[in-house]
Structure 1
Amino acid sequence: MSDTSSPAVPTAFAAASAAVREALSRDDLAVTEIPAPGGLAPHALALAGDVVGASGRADAELGTGRFVLLYDESAPEAWGGVFRVVCFAQAPLETDLALDPFVADVAWSWLVDSLDAGGASRHSASGTATKVLSSGYGELAAQGDGAQLELRASWTPTSTDLAPHVAAWSELICTLAGLPPTVEGVTLLASRRVGRD
């Protein structure tokens, strides 16, 4: 993790890092700063987010995600700029919803709609949405069938105001987890469960 108090830290990265750290996330998501993965860029900052359960404690089993801000003054060609956001969000899914061929498209639209609603200016977005179905056997037979929906995405922000980007990521995790969206124009899947009991 980069130390933004060091004089070697570029001003733009320091400003963007401050915006990330000061960004507001949803109350039903516990967000903490974590060590950034090494080797991706000269400067990086990372956040982890876990959905808060009915007990009031964060529970990654209900929904989890990571937000990583990368900065490289050389402006890698693939990024199209000096910044790159990489994010991940995952939550359990009802098995009947996992069979829906459009559920991955819906997950991507939740991210795009949340970014647009918050005015998160960006370009060069890319990502994958993955549905995972599982069945328990033997000693795990009692677990039965299960499913998860996972979204991995990256994009290039066009300013150091990263607060809307963090807010969109926060919204994505909570929406994947089945919590009511707070962004206008984003809706839940009809039979999506909220696993916060």
Structure 2
Amino acid sequence: MSDTVTGSPVPAPFGAAIDSIHAATLRSELVVTELPAPGSLAPHSIAFAADVTPARHSDDSDLATGRFVLLYDPSSPDAWGGPFRVVCFAQAPLETDIGVDPFLAAVAWSWLIDALDTRGARYHSPSGTATKILSTGFGELQVQGDGAQIELRASWSPDDSALGPHVEAWGDLVCMLAGLPPVPEGVSVLPTRRKGA
């Protein structure tokens, strides 16, 4: 097996992580594709995109979309606390009345942590931002009216090469942002009502 970024031989721990990712079970509503991995962040990396169906050809989903990047650096950078680091992104449109909810960002972050814990992902050093975006169309975009989005950007360090649960948790997060049930007991979802629906 060779690394798609550098062409160099894949170290055994990174190869095990890739195998674990490919063995992950994701929800049927997700369309997942492998992307070119960033070559400047770590010696080895792999990246994926996910869209909640239905998605238009060559466009992000109207329901929710996400990106997942696994970085591997055998030198274990101090900031990572180990050789692996996951960087992910998830985004979904919302109704404006939901977008102004003062607890929305905290809820989105809690969904990520809950998804990681529910899937049994072993990790440490989580960090990230949850951003609420409110917009109003003007001029030719006035017909779009008001809109809102939630974006979650996060990273964490997996404790080992068992990355399947991490990818599954990320997939669960993308689906939760899209308002798709079912979810673990005690976790609420955003209403599926979307702008223009």
Q: Structure 2 length as normaliser, TM-score?
A: 0.91
Distance of 1:49 and 1:89 partners within structure 2 = 9
Distance of 1:159 and 1:132 partners within structure 2 = 35
Distance of 2:157 and 2:112 partners within structure 1 = 14
- In the alignment, which residue of structure 2 is the partner of 1:172? 173
Distance of 2:47 and 2:84 partners within structure 1 = 13
Give the AA of the match of 1:17. I
- In the alignment, which residue of structure 2 is the partner of 1:193? 192
Note the alpha carbon deviations across 1:146-178, whole angstroms, 9 max, x for none: 010000000000111111101110010111111
Unpaired runs of 5+ in structure 1?
Answer: none
- In the alignment, which residue of structure 2 is the partner of 1:48? 49
**Could you say if the C-alpha distance between residues 87 and 54 of structure 1 is closer, same or farther in structure 2, counting changes exceeding 3 Å?**
closer
- In the alignment, which residue of structure 2 is the partner of 1:78? 79
CA contact (8 A) 1:88 1:152 kept: yes
- Over the matched positions of the two proteins, sequence identity in percent amounts to 60
Distance of 2:75 and 2:175 partners within structure 1 = 35
CA contact (8 A) 1:92 1:148 kept: yes
CA contact (8 A) 2:95 2:193 kept: no
- In the alignment, which residue of structure 1 is the partner of 2:35? 34
Residue range with higher mean Cα deviation, 21-30 or 104-113 = 21-30
Give the AA of the match of 1:100. D
Unpaired runs of 5+ in structure 2?
Answer: none
Residue range with higher mean Cα deviation, 16-25 or 120-129 = 16-25
- In the alignment, which residue of structure 2 is the partner of 1:150? 151
Distance of 1:32 and 1:150 partners within structure 2 = 20
Residue 94 (structure 1) shift: 1.1
**Could you say if the C-alpha distance between residues 194 and 164 of structure 1 is closer, same or farther in structure 2, counting changes exceeding 3 Å?**
farther
- In the alignment, which residue of structure 1 is the partner of 2:25? 24
**Could you say if the C-alpha distance between residues 194 and 25 of structure 1 is closer, same or farther in structure 2, counting changes exceeding 3 Å?**
farther
Q: How does 1:100-179 map to 2 (within 5 A)?
A: 100-179=101-180
The CA RMSD measured in Å over matched residues stands at 2.3
Whether 1:64 and 2:74 are equivalent positions in the alignment is no
Aligned length: 193
Note the alpha carbon deviations across 1:56-82, whole angstroms, 9 max, x for none: x98522110000000001100000000
Distance of 1:18 and 1:54 partners within structure 2 = 27
**Could you say if the C-alpha distance between residues 99 and 39 of structure 1 is closer, same or farther in structure 2, counting changes exceeding 3 Å?**
same
CA contact (8 A) 1:94 1:193 kept: no
CA contact (8 A) 2:54 2:61 kept: no
Distance of 2:39 and 2:193 partners within structure 1 = 35
Secondary structure at the counterpart of residue 79 of structure 2: coil
Whether 1:89 and 2:90 are equivalent positions in the alignment is yes
CA contact (8 A) 1:19 1:162 kept: yes
Q: Structure 1 length as normaliser, TM-score?
A: 0.91
